Structure formats: structure tokens, C-alpha cells
Structure 1
């Protein structure tokens, strides 16, 4: 597990990049996985990483596990990389922009938010 200062910085970075609430993320994960035939149970909707992000959002910092810390680092790095390679905030103009936004939202980051 990271030391206290490193964990504080990670907690802040994670909450900087994850700009969706737990309710918004849970709703997005459910909608994202829904198809014409069946809708997954909310606890099983979305990617494993998306579900882990949702679980972390519902925890206190003192309750984080080593696995939570690993996922938090992964999410911060992935979101920062995807945001840096994007065209910045604004309406999506191509299918690639839409796919990028949806991938970010699965991690709890909506790039259209200020």
C-alpha cells in the first residue's frame, strides 16, 4: 500500500479525473450494457474496471485496499492519456470522438463536463 502522502495525492487525482457521481456512473454502466433482449443487473453492469471505480466511489479513503489503489492509478493514467490525445471538451464530431467519450465515461469521466 502507498504511504499516507502518496495515498492523499492519488485520492485527489482519482477524484479529479472521475467527475461523475456514483449514481451517474451506475446509470451509465447499466445503459451501456443494455441491449434489446436483456438488461444486466445493476451490480453486474459495465466493465470490471467500471464496477471497481463505482465501488471505490462508495468507499472512504481509509477503507481502500491494495487492489483499489492499483485500479485508481490505472484509471488516473488512462483518463489522463485519453484526455491528452483528445481534441478537448466540446461536442463529439466523429464516431471516434463518441467512442472515446464512452470509454472515458465507463471509467467515470465525462469529457464534456467543465
Structure 2
């Protein structure tokens, strides 16, 4: 996958917009029981795909733009797609303590955060 500088910039901008939790908020969230209660766990693994994604999000955010790899951009696109799909499926009512919100938070997005 070879991206133009404009494509890289657009992906990074949308990734930064959708992953609205700070580094600290995301790390603190990963330490909660709720974070461990949601998400799909692949056969043979012990941690959900979302929690694994959160760790990649943290690494991407810690990296300098010049050091980002094609794999990092692929993951950013995956996060963007996941967040967009999940946000389109928002349930009715208060979502504060829902698996829907918790799953999004594992992907770096808190839908209650403005």
C-alpha cells in the first residue's frame, strides 16, 4: 500500500478526530473491568481485538509522523471504519453504561465525549 502525502494526512486527520480519548484516558480505560468485558476474542488469544487495537492506537500516537509505517496507516483506516460503522448503530437512550459504548472506547472513541 503506497499512499500519497495527502492521503496520509487525510487518514491521520480522521483518525485523530475519531480517536477522541487522550492517551491517559485510553490507558486508564484499558485497566477497567468493563474494557475486558466487551469485544471479540480470536481463537487462541486472550485479549479482544478492540483491546489489541487500543494498544496499537497508543503506539501510533506516540510515533512521529515520519516514522509511521504502512501497517500503521492500515490500522488507522481499520479504526476509522470500525468507529464509523459502530457510531451508525448507536442504540436509543442513555448509552453511558452500555457494551456499545465500551466497545467503542476500546477503539479509542468515547461517544459521550464532546
For the aligned pair, the TM-score class normalised by the smaller chain equals: 0.7 to 0.9
> How far off is 1:51 after superposition?
0.6
Say whether 1:110 aligns with 2:110: yes
Rounded Cα–Cα distance in structure 2 between residues aligned with 1:106 and 1:11: 19
* Equivalent pairs, count: 101
Unaligned stretches of 5+ in structure 1? Answer: 35-43
> How far off is 1:87 after superposition?
4.2
Change (3 A) 1:68 1:111: same
Rounded Cα–Cα distance in structure 1 between residues aligned with 2:66 and 2:19: 19
User: 2:99 matched to which residue of 1?
Assistant: 99
RMSD of aligned alpha carbons: 2.5
Unaligned stretches of 5+ in structure 2? Answer: 38-46
Rounded Cα–Cα distance in structure 1 between residues aligned with 2:110 and 2:9: 23
